[in-house]
Amino acid sequence: MLRLELVNISKQYPAVKANDAVNLRVKPGEIHAVLGENGAGKSTMMKMIYGAVRPDEGEIRWNGQAVDIRNPQEARTLGISMVFQHFSLFDTLTAAENVWLGLDKSLTLAEVTQRITQVAKEYGLGVEPLRPVHTLSVGERQRVEIVRALMTAPKLLILDEPTSVLTPQAVETLFITLRKLSREGTSILYISHKLDEIRALCHNCTVLRGGKVTGEVDPSLETNASLSRLMIGAEPPQLQHIQAKLGGVVLDVRGLTLPKQDHFGMSLADIRFEVRAGEILGIAGVSGNGQQELMAALSGEDTRSPAGSVHLFGKDISNHSPRRRRKEGLHFVPEERLGRGAVPTLSLAANTLLTRTEAVGRSGWVRTAEVAKLAQELIRRFNVKAGGPDAAAKSLSGGNLQKFIVGREIEAKPKLLIVSQPTWGVDVGAAAQIRGELLGLRDQGCALLVVSEELDELFEICDRLVVIAQGKVSPSIATSKATVPQIGEWMSGLWTVSKETEHAQT
């Protein structure tokens, strides 16, 4: 008997048909991948299974019986849990309180807190149950979501981009957990754009393109190229990474030390590095090791930096506001798309005004036609699937919104671009496009600082790497001379300054 079956499921939205007569079959204990480019309909299909969205047509069968899943509570009662790509956590509550909200109240909050610690330890997912969610990084929030799902002992676990902000070591630990759940009979629906992961982990794979199923294959018998062809109709373009032509120092961070702003934050200790024109410096590290605090200090969100600790083109900008830093050529893409990179309820056109002011007159009047034209150009150039400039940011898939936000800053022709998690949750084709655009910007003489928890990405586009751990930054090393095991070791804070390291920096 099948654990889950979708029969001719369809869902129409005003601007797009997200699912068109989709069929899906999942057996007990099966790890089943759902693969597709951004906007292919994957998340909509998962939300219908979880009861967050109602299908227009078709039938959902659970253990052979037709069911009408009207809301997530009914889904959880059946034994279905889901970890969303965009998290559903209350910022003002602790991790434990968020988990407790999703459970029946047979357990006290104290018991749930203890159970979270046990589950997190058992599955190798570092979660501090008493920390308020607003103090957590994206990676830490994702761990809370995964632990919350595992707490319900689900019969079907839906994971939407579960490893997008996990380190390679954490991914390996998660895979051990998922294989264990599979052996125990739990079915897993696994959405990911990481083809290597799907081939290594999953038993079967259903591929979506434009809301329709284009194939069902055994991923272990496929190659990355063949899966890409099924997903986007072609193989992703190969990046052209030419030798960097270094210019002068653009960003110079000198002994940046900052105490943490709250009990759960991370202090920064003597941060030192520089970024030159025409190069990409990558920052690797496990989430929660000071990335958020460093980005706030560099973007101007935190203006407590000591005088003389942050220089742009030799000028001390330590206490400059984000607006002033933008005028001086520093642009920033935050890791959180919705809420920081874009206002969910505003249109794409209105969201361009968050960082772009070309269409604003001296007296503050907004030239709306010019704003719409700019948004339309971003949609065209970066191949964003959206209902036009008037579409609300929250109506886009995560990957398409990411392309729009990154494109908005690239189009501004920055002198220094700081990007956090540039391709989080983005499909292989779109990821290749974003990385190609970043390399193109570098080749035009821009200085780039890229923070990413995807080592493959950093090795692909960066000229040099540093690692952040416990609020401290390692020496830099040329990417060509670095290895994944070495960087993984540094991510635990285990680095030493040696002559060999110093030579490798150049």
CB 150 within 8 A of CB 112: no
Confidence band of 300 (pLDDT split at 50, 70, 90): very high
pLDDT score at 165: 62
| Structure tokens that stand for 158 in this block | 């839906």
Instruction: Please give the DSSP secondary-structure letter assigned to residue 186.
Output: -
Same structural domain for residues 109 and 53?
yes
In a domain, 356, yes or no: yes
pLDDT surpassing 90 at residue 433: no
Confidence band of 135 (pLDDT split at 50, 70, 90): confident
Same structural domain for residues 300 and 405?
no
In a domain, 390, yes or no: yes
pLDDT surpassing 70 at residue 503: no
pLDDT score at 504: 43
In a domain, 334, yes or no: no
In a domain, 165, yes or no: yes
Enclosing domain of residue 381: 340-413
Mean pLDDT of the region 325-343? 92
pLDDT digits (tens, 9 = 90+) for 377-389: 999 999 898 889 9
Same structural domain for residues 304 and 254?
yes
Q: Beta partners for 156?
A: 80, 187
Predicted TM-score of the model (pTM):
0.72
SS (H, E, C) 434-465: HHHHHHHHHHCCCEEEEECCCHHHHHHHCCEE
Nearest to 281 by CA among 477, 493, 444, 480: 477
pLDDT surpassing 70 at residue 141: yes
Cα Rg of the chain (Å, integer): 23
Same structural domain for residues 196 and 325?
no
Three-state DSSP at 139 gives: helix
Distance CA(263)–CA(274), nearest Å, equals: 29
pLDDT digits (tens, 9 = 90+) for 73-118: 899 999 999 988 767 789 899 999 999 987 877 889 999 999 999 9
CB 118 within 8 A of CB 77: no
Same structural domain for residues 472 and 494?
yes
Burial class (CB in 10 A: 0-12, 13-18, 19+), 363: exposed
Same structural domain for residues 307 and 371?
no
User: For the domain that residue 480 is a member of, what is the CATH number?
Assistant: 3.40.50.300
pLDDT score at 75: 94
- Tell which of 383, 413, 443 closes a domain: 413
DSSP codes joined into one string, 52-95: SS--SEEEEEETTEEE---SHHHHHHHTEEEE-SS----TTSBH
Report the range out of 158-167, 249-258, 450-459 with the highest average pLDDT: 249-258
Same structural domain for residues 323 and 442?
yes
- Helical pair 398-410 and 368-381, crossing angle rounded to 10 deg: 110
- Tell which of 365, 392, 413 closes a domain: 413
In a domain, 335, yes or no: no
Same structural domain for residues 202 and 66?
yes
Sheet of 204-209: strand order equals 80-83, 156-160, 187-191, 31-36, 204-209, 212-217
Same structural domain for residues 498 and 447?
yes
Same structural domain for residues 190 and 285?
no
Mean pLDDT of the region 196-203? 93
Same structural domain for residues 443 and 298?
yes
What per-residue string of b and e applies to 408-438 under the rule 16 or more CB within 10 Å gives b? bbbbbebbbbbbbbbbbbbbbbbbbbbbbbb
Domain total of the chain? 3
- Tell which of 180, 209, 232 closes a domain: 232
In a domain, 163, yes or no: yes
- Helical pair 138-150 and 109-122, crossing angle rounded to 10 deg: 100
Mean pLDDT of the region 321-342? 92
Distance CA(461)–CA(431), nearest Å, equals: 11
pLDDT surpassing 80 at residue 340: yes
pLDDT score at 439: 95
Percent of the chain predicted with pLDDT > 70:
96
Mean pLDDT over each residue of the chain, to the nearest integer? 90
Distance CA(335)–CA(119), nearest Å, equals: 27
pLDDT score at 499: 42
| Structure tokens that stand for 52 in this block | 């967050």
In a domain, 71, yes or no: yes
pLDDT surpassing 60 at residue 25: yes
Same structural domain for residues 27 and 111?
yes
In a domain, 132, yes or no: yes
pLDDT surpassing 90 at residue 146: no
